[in-house]
Amino acid sequence: MQANLRLQAKPASGRRAAVVSRVPSVRVQATVAMPAASSAAVLPHGRVFNFSAGPAMLPVDVLERAQADLINWQGSGMSIMEMSHRGKEFESVIQKAEADLRTLLNIPANYKVLFLQGGASTQFSMIPLNLAKAGETVDYVVTGAWSKKAVEEAKKYTNVNIAAKGDNKSIPEVSTWKLSPDARYVHYCDNETIGGVEFKSAPDVGDRVLVSDMSSNFVSKPVDVAKYGLIYAGAQKNVGPSGVTIVIVREDLVGHVRAEAPGMLDYKIHVENDSMYNTPPCWSIYICGLVFERLLKLGGLEAMQKLNQEKAALLYDTIAASNGFYNSPVDPAVRSLMNVPFTIPSSPDLEKAFVKEAEKAGMLQLKGHRSVGGMRASIYNAMPMEGVQKLVAFMKEFHAKHA
């Protein structure tokens, strides 16, 4: 089954239904090839549709290419996992990954790109240690679990002002934020995976340095990097396997690390060593590079954003059309294109049955986060439209059976 907007050059087929996005700021008229309720989309290699919030599914063509290179990368006689990170072979891999990412995001020349370790959680410490002195004020906007964790870590190193706080279902209007006039930076999480709330544009914080955790929607849409002082993202949701964290930092913010910070937490050291101060996560960087290359071939981030809008619209519209059988708890103005939480308000037992039956049908990891319950469909870049179509068909079948 093909959508009208697909990132493959195949004709559409199947029954047609008009689907109109209800994700505000993203008005998309999507003509989607709707599968019959009993149809079963099939992935190659016996794979399933993995709706995990992370680590998440990777594109099959990327995995196939990695499989082909696994034992002998491009005739080198070595696997990426075996070769020296100081050798010309891996140097070409990491340089191309950076170059392709710069092209994808149109990263200005005065920004440095780093491939680091420690996950996005390490950035919770690294950012205040590099961007603020002890006792200086930094502003944090809390919209969910991940921004809250960032706050708790930053409090160990400097004075944190909570400029705004959401309820995991909404985002306070920027005009209501209590920003500090002397804040060294303003930190926010662009997409909260647990609650399913997402900023639709960069918040205007004046001339303050804007810092964003984009772990769960990185390269899912175009971003004006010049509006930010620093962007960071764990790879394991949209761009690769776990083990590598991507940091994009404006060069004037580098070189101000606190004296007590470990060398591994100094951006300047990593910049001066081209992300190879110590042995980098070579395999993870290699996979990220393949993903960046694939995104460029598929039309870049504008094309990816359009597909993501269509996938999310199909899900949200199905929930809205269920006459209350399914419910989306998130403010429609800030619903995530990446993580779609939903519930069956009439019965928690039905939610358990939904997850179990979906697994039997080849759709995994639909259970909601333990802190909120319900269900959650994570539909990152690599989730094909067929996966969302199959989920929607299952949702309709389940509704008809239990209404």
Boundary-marking domain end, from 272, 296, 320: 296
Same-domain pairing of 216 and 324: no
Same-domain pairing of 223 and 206: yes
Task: Tell me the pLDDT band of 372, cut-offs 50, 70 and 90.
Answer: confident
Q: Rounded to whole angstroms, how far apart are CA atoms 268 and 7?
A: 39
Same-domain pairing of 32 and 151: no
Q: What is the pLDDT of residues 3-50, one digit of tens each?
A: 434 444 333 333 333 333 344 444 343 433 333 333 356 788 999 999
pLDDT computed for residue 145 by the predictor: 93
| Domain limits for position 368 | 15-51+301-402
Q: Is 237 a catalytic residue?
A: yes
Please pick, among 112, 169, 237, 390, the residue that the annotation labels catalytic. 237
Residues 256, 262, 264, 269, Cα dihedral to 10°: 40
- Answer whether 317's CB lies under 8 Å from 335's CB: no
Same-domain pairing of 157 and 204: yes
Q: What is the pLDDT of residues 335-366, one digit of tens each?
A: 999 999 999 999 889 999 999 999 999 999 99
Q: Taking the alpha carbons of 380, 385, 386, 390 in that order, is the dihedral positive or negative?
A: positive
pLDDT computed for residue 104 by the predictor: 98
Same-domain pairing of 199 and 82: yes
Same-domain pairing of 367 and 342: yes
pLDDT computed for residue 14 by the predictor: 37
Average pLDDT over residues 394-400: 98
Would you say residue 59 lies in a domain? no
The enclosing domain of 335 has a CATH number of 3.90.1150.10
Boundary-marking domain end, from 296, 329, 356: 296
Stated pTM of the model:
0.89
List, in order, residues 6 or more apart from 319 with CB less than 8 Å away.
Answer: 326, 327, 328, 342, 395
Q: What is the pLDDT of residues 301-325, one digit of tens each?
A: 999 999 999 999 999 999 999 999 9
Reading the block at residue 246, the tokens are 């991507």
Please pick, among 139, 190, 213, 266, the residue that the annotation labels catalytic. 213
pLDDT computed for residue 370 by the predictor: 83
* 245-250, strands of its sheet edge to edge: 111-116, 245-250, 230-234, 210-213, 186-189, 137-142, 159-165
Helices (H) and strands (E) in the chain, counts: 9, 15
CA distances from residue 78 to 74, 237, 280 in whole angstroms, order as listed: 9, 28, 17
Please pick, among 100, 112, 146, 190, the residue that the annotation labels catalytic. 146
Q: What is the mean pLDDT of the chain?
A: 90
Q: Is 213 a catalytic residue?
A: yes
Would you say residue 252 lies in a domain? yes
Same-domain pairing of 133 and 161: yes
The enclosing domain of 129 has a CATH number of 3.40.640.10
pLDDT computed for residue 35 by the predictor: 36
Q: Is 283 a catalytic residue?
A: no
pLDDT computed for residue 43 by the predictor: 83
Boundary-marking domain end, from 264, 296, 328: 296
